[in-house]
Amino acid sequence: MVNILKGQRGGVKGEHLKHASINGVDIYTITSQQRSIPSWIGDKNQKVPRRVKQKDHDKVSLLQDLWFETATTKIKATPDGDYLMASGIYPPQVKVYELSQLSMKFERHLDSEIIDFQILSDDYSKIAFLCTDRTVYFHAKYGKHCTMRIPRMGRDIAYDYWSCDLFCAASSPDLYRINLEQGRFLSSLTTQSPALNVVSRSKVHGLVACGGEDGSVECFDMRMRSSVVVELMLFHLLVEVTALEFDGDADFQMAVGSSGGKVLIYDLRSSQPWHQVLGSEQPKLITTDSHIVKIWDSKTDTGLILLALDSSQIPAYFLPVLGPAPKWSPRLQQWEELELEGNKESFIYDKTKFLTKEDLDKLNLTNLIGTDLVRASLHGYFAKALADPSSYDKYIEQRKQDKLDKELANRITTKRKLPKVNRNLAKQIAENEEAEK
């Protein structure tokens, strides 16, 4: 099963993020592996130590209360970019975070689990929730406004801003329509699929596409009374369409994900999939399944990714290769400026020469492999030029000292407690005495 997300490109000095590098791409973990509040409190019968572990302080906190009791189901941002909404279980609830304040604004509890939700306005003032009890809940700023019940179990919803129609894909060949201006159901759109899994609408040309269990995608043009249907048989009949997303920048591009783990990019003017060339300057595509998140070549506005996983915490990852830190997180912006470049290990190639393994054998320098003087690279090694005549002598002395320390380690000796004054001199005298024995 594949999900498709549309990609987008503000830590303090002294704070450290967990770092990982995959295929040369740096990934910084912000909230992953963070313990929940109940684990901080611990058992009342146990003595709570006063000294808090340092690793709990060496984390950049993105948003307060960014967690749920059991798991997170959906995460979305409002169109104005000022608020972040997340739904989770258990109990079924939704939380709204105000990004300018870096904290939770409010939370609400619902009667059943949330399958999906749509933000109907620029902020959080109008929201539609599709729940597991076949009910669509409409909420306003003050709370629940009204409810409407659909005939079959819902699976996905989409909203048409032009006609104020809310589309509900369910375990039925019919695509249900609810007109929010009139407050009633409209005639459903009938498809050829036995059941629908996903529905999506293009913000550019207004086409509504729905993917079914039989691996087909059907597109409807809602601007005409007699809808124009474009049918695309994308996958084998045993493979279902699990994700569907239009490109917001390109007019006719559409990405389709399947239950078999494949992602196809289509141009609606052709029935054959269009394969994007890697390394081009096209928008990025983020695909997820039950185990992994893949980011394909693209252009975005921010390098921050929030994931809705089957865990209490909502993990956040920062990828500098995607873009800078978001403007609403000044701590992450400061950390990026002060620490990101400073933490990278740099290797200066001045006064170095590239040598192969055979060249090192001829120069009798194979014993330097693994040290700072010789560094492996591709099919050879970078060797530092001996501009300092004493560098090799220092290396020989260090090898002798290491060998001597290894021999002395096998002896039974009494460790002397060094004085507080002239510790280095006392240590050197003790080492000379041990060497003379």
Residue 213 sits in the same domain as residue 235: yes
- Classify residue 180: in a domain, yes or no: yes
Please tell me what DSSP assigns to residue 394: H
**Bridge partners, residue 85, by sequence:** 76, 96
Residue 336 sits in the same domain as residue 358: no
- Classify residue 282: in a domain, yes or no: yes
End-to-end distance of the chain based on CA atoms, in angstroms?
A: 71
**3-class SS of residue 402:** helix
| Residues in the chain, pLDDT under 70 | 1-63, 225-238, 248-251, 269-315, 317-325, 327-355, 367-368, 370-393, 395, 411-416, 435-437
Residue 309 sits in the same domain as residue 425: no
- Please give the structure tokens belonging to residue 411: 């002896």
Residue 38 sits in the same domain as residue 151: yes
Identify the pLDDT of residue 132: 85
Q: Which of 291, 317, 340 is the last residue of a domain?
A: 340
- Classify residue 189: in a domain, yes or no: yes
Quick one: which of 343, 304, 310, 347 has its CA closest to 326? 304
Residue 404 sits in the same domain as residue 315: no
Range of 266's domain? Answer: 3-340
Query: What does the alpha-carbon distance between residue 276 and residue 262 come to, in Å, rounded to a whole number?
Result: 14
Q: Is 364 left (phi over 0), alpha (psi -120 to 50) or beta?
A: left
Residue 325 sits in the same domain as residue 376: no
Find where tokens 């169109």 sit. Answer: 79
Query: What does the alpha-carbon distance between residue 54 and residue 397 come to, in Å, rounded to a whole number?
Result: 38
Looking at the 3D structure of the chain, how many domains does it have?
2
- Classify residue 345: in a domain, yes or no: no
Query: What does the alpha-carbon distance between residue 50 and residue 287 come to, in Å, rounded to a whole number?
Result: 44
Contact between 300 and 7 under an 8 Å Cβ cutoff? The reply is yes
Find where tokens 């369910």 sit. Answer: 170
Residue 148 sits in the same domain as residue 198: yes
Q: Which of 318, 340, 362 is the last residue of a domain?
A: 340
- Classify residue 248: in a domain, yes or no: yes
Residue 297 sits in the same domain as residue 375: no
CATH code of the domain containing 89 = 2.130.10.10
Identify the pLDDT of residue 66: 74
Going 49 to 51 to 55 to 60, the CA torsion angle's sign is positive
Identify the pLDDT of residue 41: 44
Residue 266 sits in the same domain as residue 380: no
Residue 10 parent element (H or E): none
Query: What does the alpha-carbon distance between residue 179 and residue 136 come to, in Å, rounded to a whole number?
Result: 13
Residue 140 sits in the same domain as residue 262: yes
- Number of residues written out for the chain: 437
Q: Distances in Å between the alpha carbon of 90 and those of 69, 112, 284?
A: 6, 10, 33
- Classify residue 346: in a domain, yes or no: no
Distant-in-sequence contacts of 373-377, Cβ < 8 A, 24+ apart: 375/347
Residue 366 sits in the same domain as residue 309: no
**3-class SS of residue 35:** coil
- Classify residue 397: in a domain, yes or no: yes
Q: Which of 340, 372, 400 is the last residue of a domain?
A: 340
Strands 216-221 and 229-233: antiparallel
Identify the pLDDT of residue 54: 45
Identify the pLDDT of residue 233: 60
Residue 328 sits in the same domain as residue 412: no
CA dihedral of residues 242, 248, 249, 252 (deg, nearest 10): 60
- Classify residue 410: in a domain, yes or no: yes
